[in-house]
Amino acid sequence: MTLDVASIQAQFPLLQRKINGQRLVYLDSANTSQKPRVVIDAMTNFMETSYAPINRSAYQLAAEATEAFEHARKAVRRFINAPHADDVIFTKNATEGLNLVAYSWGRANLRAGDVVVLTQMEHHANIVPWHMLAAERGIELRWVPLTNDGQLDLTNLSSLLDGAKAFAFTAMSNVLGTITPVRQLCDAAHAAGALAIVDACQYVPHNVTDVQAWDADFVAFSSHKMCGPSGIGVLWGRQALLEGMPPFLGGGNMIADVRMDGFAPAELPAKFEAGTPPITEAIGLHAAIDFLEDLGMANVRRHEMEIATYAMDTLNERYGDDICLHGPTNVEVRGATFSFGFRNIHPHDLSQVLDQRNVCLRAGHHCVKPLMRLLNVNATARASFYLYNDQHDVDALADALDGASDIFGL
Amino acid sequence: MPGLEDLYREIILDHYRTPRNRGELPPPAAHAVGHNPLCGDEIDVYLQVDGDTITDVKVGGQGCSISQSSASMMSQAVKGRSVTEVRALVRRFKGMMSIEEELPEGERAPEVEVKLGDLEALQGVVKFPVRIKCATLAWNTLIEALAEATSA
């Protein structure tokens, strides 16, 4: 294996927990990831020694907190190779980042009849904000279809993009595990005169991310899926675009001046960070980025390709036609997230039975109901692997599936 | 941790494998669709109400063993009952699921005794709080269908 998983697991306090004397098999990292000791310690230490308001008080403590907060922004810039730290906007999560783009850029730039192109594998976070805009502005939504193996079908991409103002797409599907050709999609968007908006929430935790190599216009992701705390996310945007957009939320910190008859917004990034931001969470995200950079994101990706290969081989070998793994079979174009059906057992029942063996996975529609309808299922079970999972976890999943058949007599 | 045997009782699995009253009823039967937004499960309830009596009921849709067996047992329990009895049954069942609902102002709890019968097999669901929504999906849908049937 590329990564020393045993030593990585040892750094995650929660993964030491035993329930009913058995270890946890945490296979729900596409939902949210567990936190390493360094992240927990960084946040605790910050709150114990340096916590203070940022950007608004002159005393030393506040200056220290502000500096730590801005260091976190610089760490994000480095991690995704953004050109400027000021273009890194801290949000609540990827969902808020995508809403920010739809609300602020969308309302300033889209009129009735304008076209926004999405794909059929988008998360609700990259669908509903556009639906809301469509209801308000009468914009048209077009959808890039999927191939049978769960990749984007790009056959008619240029005609779909014809006349479009924006193309908003995922870099990695949270259901199918599919990794999309982001650079190619950005190029296609730009060739059509559209902006490229990338939902990178599932991608950033598992891959080397370079927003400049992508030539993207906006990139959104969440901290909590990449070993950082919940409550903070990132929207990176091209500077000229962010500067041209009206603010999103109004309040403290985002203004240069407020008068009785109006206001002037602050410069980037404060313009899009109204109110007290998630300060301690930014410190935690910084620690998570340091943790991931120490491991090396290329190594994380290689590890997950190994796990994905082992998972597909093991599950198909043991269960054949009784298991239906959705998404691509080629690990070059997929991550280690697997939605599956198993012997007609409803995913809820499956996850309940697996829980008896401490195998934690998600059952449901994964906030992707349009895709569920395409797959012709109401729900799937989803096992998602991360840097702290290894072959033993795949084996534990495979073993636990056996028990499910017994209960339902299938 | 409560054991799976508390949840997957034999009678539940029987109703799951062999659901009763599956199908549809044509209009003018009342029809309601219920969604569990957490998991995407859907249930259709069709009700034929003649006078004060539920003369026929059919259930459609897809879901897990708990939502499907609950729907199946519900359909058996309400068929042939009066609307008042069914409302009382809904309150009994939800009470077993630890859901106490306030009555609308001016309305009194129906003074009818109803027995849960087979439905008592579902009481183990309370030990698995995430699954309570599965068990109550059919019942919430029943209330909607009942409202449609009695408002016409």
Give the tens place of pLDDT for each residue, A157-167: 999 999 999 99
Chain B, 112 to 151: residues with Cβ < 8 Å from chain A are 128, 131, 134
Q: What percent of chain A has pLDDT over 90?
A: 91
Chain A, 337 to 366: residues with Cβ < 8 Å from chain B are 346-349, 352-353, 356, 363-365
Comparing alpha-carbon positions, the chain B residue that sits nearest to A369 is B40
- Distance, CA of A115 to CA of A134 (rounded, Å): 9
Which class is A5-28+296-408 in CATH?
alpha beta
Residue A205 pLDDT exceeds 70: yes
Backbone angles phi, psi at B13, to 5 degrees: -65, -35
Q: Where are the domains of chain A?
A: 5-28+296-408, 50-293
What pLDDT does residue B1 have?
62
Comparing alpha-carbon positions, the chain A residue that sits nearest to B39 is A364
The verdict on B64 touching A (C-beta cutoff 8 Å) is yes
Task: Using CB atoms within 10 Å of the CB of residue A50, give its burial: 0 to 12 exposed, 13 to 18 middle, 19+ buried.
Answer: middle
Q: Give B65 to chain A, closest Cα distance, Å.
A: 7
Q: Do A346 and B63 touch (CB under 8 A)?
A: yes
Q: In sequence order, what DSSP letters do the residues of A2-28 get, joined into one string?
A: -S-HHHHHTT-GGGG-EETTEE-EE-B
pLDDT tier, A376 (very low <50, low <70, confident <90, very high otherwise): confident
CATH architecture assignment, domain A50-293 = 3-Layer(aba) Sandwich (3.40)
Burial string for A61-86 (b: 16+ CB within 10 Å, else e) reads: ebebbbebbbebbebbbebbebeebb
Query: Tens digit of pLDDT for each residue in A216-275?
Result: 999 999 999 999 999 999 999 999 999 999 999 999 999 999 999 999 999 999 999 999
Please give the tally of structural domains in chain B: 1
Residue A364 pLDDT exceeds 90: no
What pLDDT does residue A85 have?
98
> What six digits make up the tokens of A156?
């008619």
Q: Do A352 and B7 touch (CB under 8 A)?
A: yes
Could you list the residue range(s) of the whole structural domain that residue B26 is in? 4-102+111-151
- Distance, CA of B8 to CA of B13 (rounded, Å): 6
Residue A57 pLDDT exceeds 90: no
Q: Do A379 and B39 touch (CB under 8 A)?
A: yes
What pLDDT does residue A38 have?
98
For the ranges A256-260, A331-335, A365-369, B137-141, the lowest mean pLDDT is seen at A365-369
Contacts of A349 in chain B (CB under 8 A): 8, 64-66
- Distance, CA of B75 to CA of A259 (rounded, Å): 64
Nearest CB to A379 within list B3, B4, B40:
B40
**H or E element that contains A242:** helix A239-244
Q: Specify the higher pLDDT residue, A263 or A56.
A: A263
Task: Using CB atoms within 10 Å of the CB of residue A174, give its burial: 0 to 12 exposed, 13 to 18 middle, 19+ buried.
Answer: buried
Which whole number is the average pLDDT over A78-89? 98
| Mutation for B interface: A17, A20, A344, A352, most B CBs within 10 A | A352
Burial string for B79-88 (b: 16+ CB within 10 Å, else e) reads: bebbbebbbb
Q: What angle do CA A248, A253, A255 make, to 5 degrees?
A: 70
Contacts of A365 in chain B (CB under 8 A): 39-40
The verdict on A19 touching B (C-beta cutoff 8 Å) is yes
Which whole number is the average pLDDT over A145-168? 97
The verdict on A20 touching B (C-beta cutoff 8 Å) is yes
Are A297 and A207 in contact, with CB atoms under 8 Å apart?
A: yes
Low-confidence ranges of chain B (pLDDT < 50): none
The reply to whether A50-293 shares the fold of A5-28+296-408 is no
Q: Give A62 to chain B, closest Cα distance, Å.
A: 42
Which whole number is the average pLDDT over A153-181? 98
What pLDDT does residue A61 have?
95
| Average pLDDT taken over every residue of chain A | 96
The verdict on A316 touching B (C-beta cutoff 8 Å) is no
Are B34 and B140 in contact, with CB atoms under 8 Å apart?
A: yes
What residues of A are annotated to the active site? 367
Q: Give B90 to chain A, closest Cα distance, Å.
A: 24
- Distance, CA of B79 to CA of A272 (rounded, Å): 58
Nearest CB to A372 within list B1, B40, B131:
B40
What pLDDT does residue A166 have?
98
Which whole number is the average pLDDT over A120-129? 98
Provide the edge-to-edge strand list for the sheet that holds B30-35: B30-35, B42-50, B53-62
Which whole number is the average pLDDT over A280-293? 98
Query: Tens digit of pLDDT for each residue in A99-119?
Result: 999 999 999 999 999 999 999
What pLDDT does residue B100 have?
78
What pLDDT does residue B151 have?
84
Q: What is the CATH number for B67? A: 3.90.1010.10
Residue A363 pLDDT exceeds 70: yes
pLDDT tier, A409 (very low <50, low <70, confident <90, very high otherwise): low
Contacts of A352 in chain B (CB under 8 A): 4, 7, 128, 131
